[in-house]
């Protein structure tokens, strides 16, 4: 214990930086938990989709047509605030965008409107594609991990 006090006395700037880093980490984790935003990984999203979750794609119509998750409904983010009330509250909702940032905003709006089982796809369609999960473009299904 004496060594800890000696180190603290000899290196006050290092100890101060360590304490500040510790409190910033704790504060950011507590804020994230308090906000109630839940981001799910692509694998967890597949489980939710298999249990009848709705997938809402927040990207533009052009991006949606280039490739989207099977049975996803396209509601561009700029129209989302007006159309979010058309979503049912009984089923879980997974919001999807390109990288997972816009979908967090949509999930916050859904939770404020009373939909507690709203989730964001962590990493968005980028993570979905990197996981090699299937996407639909037009009417055909293709898997990014396999060539057909």
Q: Where are the beta strands (DSSP E) in the chain?
A: 39-40, 54-57, 73-74, 93-96, 118-121, 134-137, 140-143
**Cα 41 to Cα 47: distance, rounded to the nearest angstrom:** 10
142 CB burial (10 A radius; 0-12, 13-18, 19+): middle
What are φ and ψ of residue 100, in 5° steps?
A: 95, 5
Which residue in the list 97, 118, 125, 133 is annotated as catalytic?
A: 97
- Supply 59's token pair: 């990207």
Catalytic site residue 140?
Answer: no
**Cα 123 to Cα 106: distance, rounded to the nearest angstrom:** 14
Active site residues: 97
């Amino acid at each position: 214990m004496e060594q800890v006090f000696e180190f603290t006395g000899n290196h006050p700037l290092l100890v101060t930086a360590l304490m500040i880093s510790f409190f910033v980490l704790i504060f950011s984790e507590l804020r994230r938990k308090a906000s109630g935003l839940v981001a799910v990984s692509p694998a967890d999203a597949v489980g939710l989709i298999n249990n009848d979750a709705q997938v809402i794609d927040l990207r533009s119509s052009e991006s949606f047509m280039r490739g989207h998750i099977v049975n996803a409904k396209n509601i561009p983010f700029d129209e989302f605030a007006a159309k979010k009330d058309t979503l049912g509250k009984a089923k879980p909702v997974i919001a999807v965008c390109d990288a997972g940032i816009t979908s967090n905003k949509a999930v916050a709006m859904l939770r404020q409107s009373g939909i507690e089982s709203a989730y964001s796809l962590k990493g968005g369609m980028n993570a979905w594609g990197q996981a090699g999960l299937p996407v639909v473009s037009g009417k055909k299904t293709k898997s990014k991990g396999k060539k057909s």
